[in-house]
């Protein structure tokens, strides 16, 4: 299934994609949140004949594909070719940082550069949505705790990230710096999360291209590792790292976002994102 949340920010309704048609799920669930990502509820939704659901008319705003996200966890330097372009060593363990939940927006909402931004950058990433509580899970069992997958743009302000003494979270958590969605694609529709092509374009020019096969730590390894440190709960999102082609790694000179730029992101089977960049007042 491709689960969707649509409507104005803060008042999103649950939906389901029936081919290219958006249908309303409000008669069956209140929202797409961690509370309804258990196997029994997802099985009930799969059993619904989509043609019996009301068609959503017009072109409503699409919200983040999960409401009430618990933890927004991010893995840094998780692609070998991205680490190389940054001139950084391969990490021995997954690098973890958090993105503030106030950064979360819909997949096509504007990205707003904060005051003082000099080096805002893009990062297409595979998002993993936890559907079953995970504590001390093995790598072999880890994917059984996944509800589904989505696209995340881990927008980053490199000046804040690298030069404002502290942790990466400073440059990762600006408002609107976490576009998520458009769909939560349930696990059964993603045959292999380690074989997904991904790309990002800025103003129509391809900047990033990669495949999840070049991850240093697989989705299963990441979930298992994090679950040894703390409990993962339904509705937690893990953004699993980005392939090469970020603006900060461009040679001979870095390239950063500017007002009016348009980012377009795709991952196989997970849909597309599109954001226009503007400046905070």
Angle among Cα 99, 209, 181 to the nearest 5 degrees reads 40
Round to whole Å and give the CA distance between 265 and 271.
Answer: 8
Q: Are strands 111-113 and 271-279 parallel, antiparallel or unpaired?
A: parallel
pLDDT tens for residues 163-212?
A: 787 778 898 999 999 999 999 999 999 999 999 999 999 999 999 999 99
Q: Residue 81, preceding bond cis, omega within 30 degrees? A: no
Q: What percent of the chain has pLDDT over 70?
A: 100
- Looking at the DSSP assignment, which residues form a beta bridge with residue 75? 96
The string of pLDDT tens digits covering residues 23-71 is: 999 999 999 999 999 999 999 999 999 999 999 999 999 999 999 999 9
CA distance 170 to 184: 27
Q: In the CATH hierarchy, which fold is given to the domain comprising 72-279?
A: Fumarylacetoacetate hydrolase; domain 2 (3.90.850)
Q: Domain locations in the chain?
A: 2-52, 72-279
pTM of the model: 0.96
């Amino acid at each position: 299934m491709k689960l969707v949340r649509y409507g104005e920010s803060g008042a999103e309704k649950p939906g389901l994609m029936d081919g290219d048609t958006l249908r309303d799920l409000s008669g069956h669930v209140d929202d797409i949140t961690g509370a309804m990502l258990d196997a029994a509820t997802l099985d009930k939704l799969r059993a619904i004949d989509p043609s019996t659901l009301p068609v959503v008319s017009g072109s409503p705003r699409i919200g983040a594909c999960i409401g009430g996200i618990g933890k927004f966890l991010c893995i840094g330097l998780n692609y070998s070719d991205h680490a190389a372009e940054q001139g950084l060593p391969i990490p021995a363990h997954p690098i973890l940082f958090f993105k503030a939940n106030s950064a979360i927006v819909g997949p096509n909402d504007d990205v707003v550069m904060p005051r003082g931004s000099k080096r805002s950058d893009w990062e297409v990433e595979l998002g993993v949505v936890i559907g079953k509580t995970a504590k001390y899970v093995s790598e072999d069992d880890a994917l059984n705790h996944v509800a589904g997958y989505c696209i995340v743009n881990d927008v980053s302000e490199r000046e804040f990230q690298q030069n404002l003494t502290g942790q990466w979270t400073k440059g990762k958590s600006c408002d609107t710096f976490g576009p998520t969605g458009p769909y939560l694609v349930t696990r059964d529709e993603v045959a292999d999360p380690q074989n997904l092509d991904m790309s990002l374009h800025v103003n129509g020019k391809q900047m990033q291209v990669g495949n999840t096969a070049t991850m240093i730590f697989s989705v299963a390894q990441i979930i298992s590792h994090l679950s040894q440190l703390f409990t993962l709960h339904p509705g937690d999102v893990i953004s699993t790292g980005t392939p090469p082609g970020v603006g900060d790694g461009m040679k001979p000179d870095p390239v950063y976002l500017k007002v009016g730029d348009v980012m377009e992101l795709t991952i196989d089977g997970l849909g597309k994102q599109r954001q226009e960049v503007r400046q905070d007042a």
